[in-house]
Amino acid sequence: MKVLVTGAQGLVGSRFVELYKNDFELVCPTIEELNFKDKTKVTAYIEKLQPDAIVNFAAITDVRAAQAEVGNLDGNTWKTNFGIPCLLSELANKHKIKLVQISTDLIFSGKDTADASYIENEDLSKQDEKKISFYGLSKLAAEKYIKENCENYCIIRITYPFRSKFTKTDFVRNFIELYDSNKLYPMFNDNAITPTYIDEFCNVLNVVLNRNLSGVLHVCSINSTSHYEVAKYVLEKTGRDSSKLVTIPMKMFLEKITIIPRAIYTAMDTKATQQITGISFKTWQHYVDEMLSQN
């Protein structure tokens, strides 16, 4: 199966390439070789390549940089995170290609309690968009466009991804790096998140492509946690002193410190995804242990 992968050099996509390069014919142009915002070049490239599937990892993922462009529909964030999926969707329809879009929990405006979670087919039409960052809004708009227009799509939502060592720091490794450089900042202890082990995501993407699965899927841990809990676990597991950690309620951070909107409770439910894929997801502790054992 020939698969065009956008953003294949990034944190998540590069791991899929590492693990599955022998299972698919992966075509992975760099941004210098093909900027996916260039409609004319992308159209010609896809017409010539005729892939069976496209996996779209390409995105502006720096939430702070994205927020600096808030409301700007001609800016890099919107043109990348919304414009590219729209173009790929149109081309996918035209050439009967499957489109896999990678999405995020930052599209959610947040549940009311820590024990609530989002299901794959959650109705997102009545969200309070003031509670969503510009990055989140651009990814939400992409999801909406794909759901309404793309004939053969799968949207895979991931959240706080982490993996074996890579040039870019991930969610888990960040705690270790902050500790080692004496730059630990206060960690949220009241939020609810379900981090994604990237190897498990790759496993799911492999199944999605091979079985042509469609709809919306969630790939993350089966239990929820907070930033503080994960930081404490990681520092202790790696022989570091977790008593150096201090905490801050995320609610206070949102009210007093940041101007970037962000939801507090964004845990994702995975029951439907596990059933459809036949893969049993694990706890975040299990995934962190597995990730640490790889380095």
Ligand X SMILES: NC(=O)c1ccc[n+]([C@@H]2O[C@H](COP(=O)([O-])OP(=O)(O)OC[C@H]3O[C@@H](n4cnc5c(N)ncnc54)[C@H](OP(=O)(O)O)[C@@H]3O)[C@@H](O)[C@H]2O)c1
Q: Which residues bind ligand X (CB under 6 A)?
A: 6-7, 9-13, 31, 35-37, 57-59, 61, 80, 102, 104, 139, 158-159, 161, 168
Q: How far is the CB of 280 from ligand X (least distance, A)?
A: 22
Q: Measured between alpha carbons, how far is 82 from 140 in angstroms, rounded to an integer?
A: 8
What 3-state DSSP class applies to 216? Answer: strand
CB closest to ligand X, residue no: 10
Q: How far is the CB of 88 from ligand X (least distance, A)?
A: 11
Q: With DSSP H G I counted as helix, E B as strand and the rest as coil, what are the percentages for the chain, rounded to 5? A: 45, 15, 40
User: Cβ closer to ligand X: 80 or 194?
Assistant: 80
Q: Measured between alpha carbons, how far is 56 from 59 in angstroms, rounded to an integer?
A: 8
Q: How far is the CB of 4 from ligand X (least distance, A)?
A: 11
Q: Measured between alpha carbons, how far is 147 from 139 in angstroms, rounded to an integer?
A: 12
114 burial via Cβ count (<10 Å: 0-12, 13-18, 19+)? middle
User: Cβ closer to ligand X: 152 or 169?
Assistant: 169
User: Cβ closer to ligand X: 30 or 182?
Assistant: 30
Contact residues for 120 (Cβ-Cβ < 8 A; gap 6+): 157, 215, 216, 217, 218, 269, 272, 273
Q: Measured between alpha carbons, how far is 220 from 144 in angstroms, rounded to an integer?
A: 21
User: Cβ closer to ligand X: 16 or 179?
Assistant: 16
User: Cβ closer to ligand X: 10 or 232?
Assistant: 10
Q: How far is the CB of 226 from ligand X (least distance, A)?
A: 16
Question: For the CA atoms of 82, 14, 62, 244, what is the dihedral angle to 10 degrees?
Answer: 150
Tokens representing 8?
């294949």
Angle between helices 198-211 and 284-293 (to 10 degrees): 100
User: Cβ closer to ligand X: 161 or 235?
Assistant: 161
User: Cβ closer to ligand X: 31 or 44?
Assistant: 31
Query: Which residue carries 């996918």 as its tokens?
Result: 92
Q: How far is the CB of 119 from ligand X (least distance, A)?
A: 18
Q: How far is the CB of 239 from ligand X (least distance, A)?
A: 26
Q: How far is the CB of 57 from ligand X (least distance, A)?
A: 4
